[in-house]
Amino acid sequence: MKNSVWLTICVILLGLLAWSQMNSQMQTVPAQAPAQARVAAEEDHPHIEAAIKSLEEAKHHLETAAHDFGGHRAKALDHTQQALNECREALKYDKK
């Protein structure tokens, strides 16, 4: 029971970390910027890139965590890897 509470708290904290990193990395392009500069900024994907960074950090934390979570740590690690794969595929799919 205590382990599942600890794991839940860690997931919530990692989510908050990811959210704060995404907010701090948001880039805005002024309306008066040339059209070419706006297009270049729109093709950047700071949210996806921040999510990848956060997921990589979460994966590291899960890999180094204790292994006595009844399989839930391993399952979270698998889901984290799946999320990383999906984010990377999303960047490949982007039509630049």
**pTM value?**
0.56
* Structural domain total, the chain: 1
| Residue 93 pLDDT grade (very low, low, confident, very high; cuts 50, 70, 90) | confident
Residue 71 lies in domain: 2-93
Q: Above pLDDT 90, what percent of the chain?
A: 47
What is the residue type of 49? E
What are the pLDDT digits (tens) for 57-92?
A: 999 999 999 988 999 999 999 999 999 999 999 999
Top-confidence range, 26-30, 40-44, 87-91: 87-91
Burial 35-64 (b: 16+ CB within 10 A, else e): eeeeeeeeeeeeebebbbbbbeebbebbee
